[in-house]
Amino acid sequence: MGGSRRQNKVFGAPSFGALLDASPDALLALDADGTVLVANTAASRLFGYSREELTGSNHWMLLSEGFHNETALLRAQLLARPDDPQPPREVYGVHRDGTEFAAEIAGSLVDDGGPQVLLVSVRSTGHRKSADADLSEAMSLLTATLESTADGILVISSEGRIAGLNEQFLTMWGIPPDMMKADSDEPAMQLILSQVKDPEAFLARVEKLTADSSAESHDTIDFLDGRTFERYSRPQKVGDRIVGRVWSFRDVTPRRMAQEQAEQALTDLAAQAEQLRAMAFQDPLTGLANRAVFNAELLNALKEPRLKSVDVLLLDLDDFKEVNDILGHHAGDVMLVEVARRLRGCVPTADVVARLGGDEFVVLLTACPDVDAIAECIVRCLHVPFTIEGTMLRPSLSLGLASVGREARAASELLREADIAMYAAKAAGKNRFLRFHPEMMTALVQRTDLEAGLQLAIGRGEISVEFQPIVSPRMGRVVKFEALARWDREDQRVPPAVFIPLAERSGLINELGSEVMAQSLKQLASWLREDPSRSLSMNVSGVQLQEPDFAEAVLRLAETSGVGAYQLVFEVTESVFFDADCNVIKQLSRLREAGARVALDDFGTGYSSLGRLQDLPVDIVKIDKTFVSMVRSGAERLPILSSMINMAHSLGLTVTAEGIETEEQARYLIALECDSLQGYLFSHPEPVCRFGHALKNAGQALVGLESRSVPD
Ligand code: C2E
Ligand code: CA
Ligand code: CA
């Protein structure tokens, strides 16, 4: 028994003080005032005071300022809810040396009947704090990282609960934060699915990955509103254990858009390159091939041994300049496009039709069985009239054709032959095609030769003037002479219709015109001086009117010849008025100011209408001989002639009819009250030596008209 008692002593209940001292935690028994009643060894060790020092002292010396009423709070809590477990309270303790340390206090009330004693245990938590700090730092770093990343992140635990997410996730999906706090994920999932283009695929992927917890995946999600997210998913692991799944979403819309823009830019660039390439080979106006393509195709064709024949059809529109000048460039363009369309229609699809520039086109035919038929078709089809802005036009062209069989020929040679043939077609009266013939070479040589000859003609005195009388039936006499240039070249007379255009092209017309005027004024001065109502008519081409001092030079010349400016008439064709150059108008105005008159030559042959007459600065209209030649018996009704004359008269202009060859024509025009008549009926143009002859003939013709017109 004693043994057991001793055992009790040794192993049985130890003394209260021994128990207190054995506690690893510092223990303090405090009375209601906070005075330390008892302190154990651990307390002495922790605070650095002896037990004696502690006992009877106020415990406040052991706590940092700010924590002095912690024990009172503890006591109050224990009193209020004695049965509730109380979590430890974090405080700062103070060592004897004044240094502070983190600690936890917990307590319980010792109720032994007397005043309630609070037993407080104090445990230093300094070691724990540093570990906590590391953890919370890591946590805050992680949170900061999660929140600052542009990716939306959602973590789902293996049990299917939301284990975490960041703000960005909610923003990206437009999920109100409250929705995620709700018990069910369903509303959030519905919201997500309502935004994506393919909700089935979205769900399928989620389900597949949920089923296979270790899988990783990467895909893109297209939104109905045009956005695109990248979805990345991988398992969340703690050590080797999979505890959930991390979903991260990245808005790649800007990147995708940039990519799409880059792709679009590349496509555009490719299209541009294609367009540039096409432009290099295509005539932009007509869409036909261009010169480069034609040249290349011609070279290929000539090198191809299997081809039996190669034909080149070179064509140039007749009087295209007139269309451009009178109706404007837009009309000119419309005409070229129409011509191109018709040309293409006449030529087999496989053959090349090209525009060489301006109004020049070319057709390359390979192995064509009937080239002449195609050339004929082109001339015919082109001549069909069509309307541009209310004006009816009838395009015509001159076509030169050159062919090569099996013999070897250079491309340049073939083209040159086609060119020569084309010129021959023009010279032969236009609106036709001609096949190259070696004799045409001679014509070409002549043309070049002619040009060289014209250069020297004036100096050599080969240029002279002939005068054709213009009569006034009312006055019964010659009132005017028209000066017409003549070129006698080595006993051969070159027609003005040949050398005038040549002179205009080469610019020689200025020199030639001055020469004609000088001679005319000199030769007719005395006749003109005799009667101020007599006048001299001179032809002037547009090129001359572009000279800035044309008017002044002519007026000076008249003055030195003693001829009044009012005795001069300048004949121009309507095309001079449609040149963009306003100098033409300036020169004509200057001449009219000085008293000279302007006559509109060849009226009715151009594109301009009667209505346009009133806008032109002219005094006289010369009706072209083509209209006069319509009068045969004199009994026909020709309203065109009467309207021309009436119109001119209503505008205050006088009218001269040209090319009067018969009495019928003369009478017809007299009946229409035409003011002046000119033509072979009265006199051919005559040189000054036959001037008297011309006057006499004209006078006789007038008398004849009068005598025979009076019925007896
Ligand atoms: P144009 O100004 O219309 O001149 C009238 C033309 O008709 C002249 O031809 C004349 O000889 C011709 N002719 C006169 N009466 C008749 C007739 O009854 N019947 C026919 N069938 N013809 C007649 P030409 O002399 O051959 O002159 C042709 C053109 O050359 C002129 O046409 C004129 O445009 C131009 N021309 C002549 N001399 C000059 C000049 O000095 N300067 C300029 N710029 N052009 C000139
Ligand atoms: Ca004339
Ligand atoms: Ca004329």
Is the pLDDT at 517 greater than 50? The verdict is yes
- Give the phi and the psi of residue 353 in degrees, each rounded to 5: -120, 125
Is the pLDDT at 2 greater than 90? The verdict is no
- Whole-number pLDDT of residue 295: 92
The average pLDDT across 566-591 equals 87
Closest ligand 1 atom to residue 503 Cα is 44
Contact 229, 220 (CB under 8 A): yes
Which of the residue ranges 116-125, 238-247, 273-282 has the most confident prediction, judged by mean pLDDT? 116-125
Q: Determine the longest span between alpha carbons in the chain, in angstroms.
A: 197
Give the tens place of pLDDT for each residue, 159-201.
777 777 888 888 889 988 888 777 777 888 888 899 999 999 9
Give the tens place of pLDDT for each residue, 646-697.
999 999 999 999 999 999 999 999 999 999 999 999 999 999 999 999 999 9
Instruction: Look at 570 and 86; give whichever has higher pLDDT.
Output: 570
Structural element, H or E, at residue 704: helix 691-709
- Whole-number pLDDT of residue 5: 42
Question: Which two tokens mark 207?
Answer: 């389900």
Q: Could you say which DSSP state residue 455 is in?
A: H
Q: Could you say which DSSP state residue 223 is in?
A: B
What are 599's strand-pairing partners? 571, 620
Going by pLDDT thresholds of 50, 70 and 90, the confidence category of residue 6 is very low
Least confident of 117-121, 151-155, 465-469, 693-697: 151-155
| CA 530 to each of CA 476, 564, 602: distance values in angstroms, whole numbers, following the listed order | 17, 12, 30
- Whole-number pLDDT of residue 712: 43
Ligand closest to CA 483: 1
Q: Collect all residues with Cβ–Cβ distance below 8 Å to 498 and sequence separation of at least 6.
A: 450
What are 237's strand-pairing partners? 242
Going by pLDDT thresholds of 50, 70 and 90, the confidence category of residue 709 is low
Least confident of 175-184, 346-355, 553-562, 696-705: 175-184
Three-state SS string over 150-196 comes to CCEEEEEECCCCEEEECHHHHHHHCCCHHHHHCCCCHHHHHHHHHHE
For 137, left (φ over 0), alpha (ψ -120 to 50), or beta? alpha
Residue whose CA is at the smallest distance from ligand 1 atom 30: 496
Question: What distance in angstroms lies between residue 647's CA and the mean position of ligand 3's atoms?
Answer: 19
Is the pLDDT at 528 greater than 90? The verdict is yes
Give me the DSSP letters along 570-638: EEE-GGGGGSS-THHHHHHHHHHHTT-EEEEEEETSSS--GGGGGGS--SEEEE-HHHHTT-SSS-S--
The average pLDDT across 350-366 equals 93
Residue whose CA is at the smallest distance from ligand 1 atom 8: 484
Contact 32, 130 (CB under 8 A): no
Contact 598, 620 (CB under 8 A): yes
Give the tens place of pLDDT for each residue, 205-243.
888 888 888 888 888 899 999 899 988 888 887 777 788
Orientation angle between helical segments 199-211 and 186-195, nearest 10 degrees: 130
Is the pLDDT at 314 greater than 90? The verdict is yes
Please work out whether the CB of residue 513 comes within 6 Å of at least one atom of ligand 1.
Answer: yes
Report the share of the chain in percent with pLDDT over 90: 50
The CA distance from 95 to 29, in Å, is: 18
The CA distance from 591 to 570, in Å, is: 9
Residue whose CA is at the smallest distance from ligand 1 atom 2: 539
The CA distance from 188 to 154, in Å, is: 12
**77: Cα within 13 Å, side-chain hemisphere:** 15
- Whole-number pLDDT of residue 210: 84
Contact 147, 167 (CB under 8 A): yes
Going by pLDDT thresholds of 50, 70 and 90, the confidence category of residue 553 is very high
Output the average pLDDT for the chain. Answer: 88
What are 30's strand-pairing partners? 36, 118
Closest ligand 1 atom to residue 504 Cα is 44
The average pLDDT across 457-463 equals 94
Residue whose CA is at the smallest distance from ligand 1 atom 41: 485
CA 261 to chain centre: 19
Which of the residue ranges 191-200, 297-306, 385-394, 469-478 has the most confident prediction, judged by mean pLDDT? 469-478
What are 481's strand-pairing partners? 469, 536
Question: What distance in angstroms lies between residue 388's CA and the mean position of ligand 2's atoms?
Answer: 29
Question: Which two tokens mark 355?
Answer: 């525009």
Is the pLDDT at 1 greater than 80? The verdict is no
A 10 A CB-CB count for 108 gives 14
The CA distance from 45 to 23, in Å, is: 12
The CA distance from 275 to 290, in Å, is: 14
Q: Collect all residues with Cβ–Cβ distance below 8 Å to 486 and sequence separation of at least 6.
A: 463, 464, 465, 466, 493, 496, 687
Please work out whether the CB of residue 622 comes within 6 Å of at least one atom of ligand 1.
Answer: no
The average pLDDT across 243-272 equals 86
Contact 473, 677 (CB under 8 A): yes
Is the pLDDT at 275 greater than 80? The verdict is no
The CA distance from 702 to 712, in Å, is: 18
Burial of 129 (0-12, 13-18, 19+ CB in 10 A): middle
Question: What distance in angstroms lies between residue 385's CA and the mean position of ligand 1's atoms?
Answer: 29
A 10 A CB-CB count for 707 gives 9
Q: Collect all residues with Cβ–Cβ distance below 8 Å to 259 and sequence separation of at least 6.
A: none
Instruction: Look at 134 and 672; give whichever has higher pLDDT.
Output: 672
The CA distance from 146 to 247, in Å, is: 12
Please work out whether the CB of residue 468 comes within 6 Å of at least one atom of ligand 1.
Answer: yes
Ligand closest to CA 602: 3
What are 269's strand-pairing partners? none
Q: Collect all residues with Cβ–Cβ distance below 8 Å to 612 and sequence separation of at least 6.
A: 574
Q: Collect all residues with Cβ–Cβ distance below 8 Å to 127 and sequence separation of at least 6.
A: none
- Whole-number pLDDT of residue 4: 42
Is the pLDDT at 448 greater than 90? The verdict is no
- Whole-number pLDDT of residue 13: 65
- Give the phi and the psi of residue 562 in degrees, each rounded to 5: 75, 25
What are 353's strand-pairing partners? 363
- Whole-number pLDDT of residue 697: 97
| CA 257 to each of CA 220, 237, 265, 269, 625: distance values in angstroms, whole numbers, following the listed order | 14, 35, 12, 18, 74
Is the pLDDT at 268 greater than 80? The verdict is yes
- Long-range contacts: 699-703, Cβ < 8 Å, 24+? 699/477, 699/478, 701/471, 701/666, 702/471, 702/473, 702/476, 702/477, 703/476
Alpha helices in 458-563, H assignment, sequence order? 496-506, 509-530, 542-545, 550-560
**Nearest-CA neighbor of 245 among 142, 169, 156?**
156
Question: Which two tokens mark 434?
Answer: 């001609």
Q: Which of 658, 677, 678, 681 to mutate to test ligand 1, by most ligand atoms within 8 A of the CB atom? A: 658
Contact 686, 468 (CB under 8 A): yes
Instruction: Look at 468 and 32; give whichever has higher pLDDT.
Output: 468
Residue with tokens 């393919």: 198
Give me the DSSP letters along 275-344: HHHHHHHB-TTT--B-HHHHHHHHHHHHH-TT-S-EEEEEEEETTHHHIIIII-HHHHHHHHHHHHHHHH
Instruction: Look at 481 and 322; give whichever has higher pLDDT.
Output: 481
Please work out whether the CB of residue 683 comes within 6 Å of at least one atom of ligand 1.
Answer: no
The average pLDDT across 457-480 equals 96
- Whole-number pLDDT of residue 125: 84
**Nearest-CA neighbor of 312 among 355, 352, 359?**
352
- Whole-number pLDDT of residue 180: 77
Q: Collect all residues with Cβ–Cβ distance below 8 Å to 658 and sequence separation of at least 6.
A: 602, 622, 623, 624, 625, 628, 678, 679
Contact 588, 608 (CB under 8 A): no
The CA distance from 648 to 701, in Å, is: 26
- Give the phi and the psi of residue 160 in degrees, each rounded to 5: 95, 10
The CA distance from 638 to 671, in Å, is: 12
Structural element, H or E, at residue 376: helix 371-382
The average pLDDT across 497-507 equals 90
Question: What distance in angstroms lies between residue 484's CA and the mean position of ligand 1's atoms?
Answer: 6
- Give the phi and the psi of residue 151 in degrees, each rounded to 5: -80, 145
Is the pLDDT at 20 greater than 90? The verdict is no
Question: Which two tokens mark 667?
Answer: 């009478």
- Whole-number pLDDT of residue 238: 72
Residue whose CA is at the smallest distance from ligand 1 atom 26: 496
**Nearest-CA neighbor of 591 among 566, 616, 620?**
566
Is the pLDDT at 376 greater than 90? The verdict is yes
Going by pLDDT thresholds of 50, 70 and 90, the confidence category of residue 252 is confident
Contact 397, 431 (CB under 8 A): yes
Instruction: Look at 665 and 65; give whichever has higher pLDDT.
Output: 665
Going by pLDDT thresholds of 50, 70 and 90, the confidence category of residue 8 is very low
- Give the phi and the psi of residue 352 in degrees, each rounded to 5: -85, 130
Is the pLDDT at 413 greater than 60? The verdict is yes
Ligand closest to CA 605: 3
Angle 648-652-654 (CA atoms, 0-180°, nearest 5)? 60
Closest ligand 1 atom to residue 484 Cα is 38
